[in-house]
Amino acid sequence: MSTGNKVWETGPAELVNVSRLFNDQAALPWMLASAAIVRAHKIISSRVAAVLADAGGLSMARYEVLGLLYGVDSGELAVRELKRASFLHPPTLTYILDWLEERELVFRRGNREDRRSVLIQITDAGKVLFEKATIALGEIDFGLQGLGKDDANAVAQYLGRVKRA
């Protein structure tokens, strides 16, 4: 096995091992990048999940849906727009919307302009919970503790290039 392409010599053991096993593979840089992202996602997700659970029983997906609604001026989006923006499967989104609606964080109403469509609107209680959760996540740097501001911006820039096919 060649050692000419020393992409990962130090770092998480899993990635060092992958680097050694697949050192001669042309796709190694992308394999390592993908593995590093998945690993980071798991670490960040566990940190964020603990904070969101304490901030009102939210999951990341519930928080994201509230954030999408909070982020639009009208505070409402059609279900299909939420699905597209959140990348959630329809049954998962329905389950999340049911959970949020039961807690009066959102409400559903028919769309007068398109009767086939349902609009979801964030309530005042939903806005308050989203703000509370956002403050709590900010206290842990959204799960990215140890990453400086410049590094966080660079990660956002690089990963922002990944587009949905």
Over residues 54-90, the pLDDT tens digits come to 999 999 999 999 999 999 998 899 999 999 999 999 9
Q: What is the pTM of this model?
A: 0.80
What is the per-residue pLDDT across 80-119, written as a single tens digit (0 to 9) for each? 999 999 999 999 999 999 999 999 999 999 877 877 889 9
- Helical ranges in the chain per DSSP H: 13-21, 28-54, 60-70, 79-86, 90-102, 124-139, 149-159
